[in-house]
Structure 1
Amino acid sequence: MAVPARASRSVRRSRRFELRSTALYFVLLAVVLVLVGTAVRTAAAAAERRPAWAVALVLVGVGGVVAFCRRRRRISAARLARHAAEALDEATNTAVEALDTAPPAPAADLVPARTGPRGGRPDAERTIPLPEPVNEASADPGEVGYEELDPAEFEQAIAELCRRDGCLDVDVVGGAGDLGADVLARTPDGRLVVVQCKRYCDANRVGSQDMQRFGGTCFTVHGADVAVVVTTSDFTAPAIEYAEQCGIVCMDGQELLRWQHGVGPRPWEPEFVAG
């Protein structure tokens, strides 16, 4: 005897099974699409560094598609997922190896060469001579125009003359509170030279008051072995008389030029002091 109720249940079960299969199919399809997209992005990144790897991956994919079409058999969901995972793992390993073994880009590719104006040499290759720093105080004393220097530069120029002629421990100490000493130097034989610098014009000569102020400190305060007053102009007669009494060496503009050009005695030399 036929049982209609069981037939009805059988139809329902068949329909429920088809819905589950369809849902599983779409889920697997989405997973496959995600895996394929990831593989494509990985392959594209590897292709930027190693185009040969990209060609190899394409050939492998084409070979897999051809083999799949030839086999023409149903693939279970588990096998499809396993193959997709293996393909993704292989593509990832290939991309990692390609990135690890990629050679560093040459400097020419990292920094584009810039050409000079009108297609000339690149700026990186162009040699631009830099001007040498000019220090008037440290210039060759033979080329110094003392009348063009300010008082501080004149002191530096006298110090350079002392260094040129072998003095040691040359120091410029002129300024506020210098007590008459502008340049201190030690001669090659060890004597202390104390120099006062007077950069005056021709119409302004060193007077006795200037000489007396220097004479009151050069020996007692600074302990000079040789005290020198150097000027670009000249000395008055009272100043010269006071200097002779105190043993101060007076060097006027003419004698300074002779010292500058190396044709006259140095102010600490015996012949100059005697003169």
Structure 2
Amino acid sequence: MAAMDAMNGREFEEHVAGLLRRDGCTSVVVQGGGRDRGIDITALTADGRRIVVQCKRFAPHLSITSPEIQKFLGAAKVLHDSEVALFVATCPFTRDALNIAAESDITAVHRGLLEEWSAGAALTVLE
């Protein structure tokens, strides 16, 4: 995790894009920047489902809150018509944020899960 904590935002997005490619995703595009319409990465799963990803490289003592998940939900489902939505963060999520993610079919990849994914574990939603 120390290596990810040292990355800038674009490097972190590229790292996540690399994990998607490693796990069989195709058409992986890092959007990034101010004109990304709330999505940092788009891709297709190995079986052709549309993926959108929001990446947040925050300090480990911060948390992803419910308004951030709600904003991503609108971008992922309404603007981008995603079938798989990943919110990947280098920090934890609040309980409310996790509840909204679960109710909305958003996969919350918190610090611990990100560490496992980076070490080679597969994300179930990508299988």
How far the C-alpha of 1:220 sits from its partner, in A, is 1.2
Q: Which of 7, 31, 45 is matched with 1:173 structurally?
A: 31
Counterpart amino acid of residue 66 in structure 2? S
Say whether the 8 Å CA contact 1:179–1:214 is kept in structure 2: no
2:5 counterpart residue number: 147
Secondary structure (helix, strand or coil) at the match of 1:220 reads: helix
- TM-score by structure 2 length? 0.93
- Aligned residue number for residue 216 of structure 1: 74
Residue 269 of structure 1 is matched in structure 2 by 126
CA distance in 2, matches of 1:162, 1:176: 22
1:265 partner amino acid: A
| Aligned residues of 1:211 and 1:239 also touching (Cα < 8 A) | yes
- Alignment-derived partner of residue 101 in structure 2: 243
- Looking at structure 2, the residues matched to 235 and 199 of structure 1 have their Cα atoms a distance apart, in angstroms, of 13
SS at match of 1:169: strand
Cα offset, 1:174, TM superposition:
1.4
- Structure with the higher strand share, 1 or 2: 2
Paired AA for residue 126 in structure 2: E
* Cα distance, 1:267 vs structure 2: 5.3
- Indicate yes or no: 2:37 matched with 1:189: no
Q: Please give the alpha-carbon distance, in whole angstroms, between the structure 2 residues aligned to 1:146 and 1:268.
A: 22
Aligned to 1:161: 19
CA RMSD of aligned residues (A): 1.6
CA offsets, 1:213-246, max 9 Å, x none? Answer: 1011101111111001000111001101111111
- Deviation of 1:157 after TM superposition, in Å, equals 0.7
CA contact (8 A) 1:169 1:185 kept: yes
Gaps of at least 5 residues in structure 1 are: 1-142, 271-275
Instruction: Indicate how the Cα distance of structure 1 residues 148 and 267 shifts in structure 2: closer, same or farther if over 3 A, else same.
Output: farther
Q: Which of the two has greater helix per residue? A: 1
Confirm or deny: 8 A CA contact 1:259 1:266 kept in the other structure. Answer: yes
For 2:29 and 2:122, the matched residues in 1 are separated by 21
Q: Equivalent residue of 2:76, what SS?
A: coil
Aligned-pair distance for 1:175?
A: 1.1
Counterpart pick for 1:254 among 112, 117, 120: 112
Match runs of 1:23-172 below 5 Å: 145-172=3-30
Q: Percent identity of the aligned residues? A: 35
Cα deviation 1:61-99 (Å, max 9, x = unaligned) = xxxxxxxxxxxxxxxxxxxxxxxxxxxxxxxxxxxxxxx
SS of 1:174 mapped into structure 2: coil
Q: Contact 2:23 / 2:122 at 8 angstroms: preserved in 1?
A: no
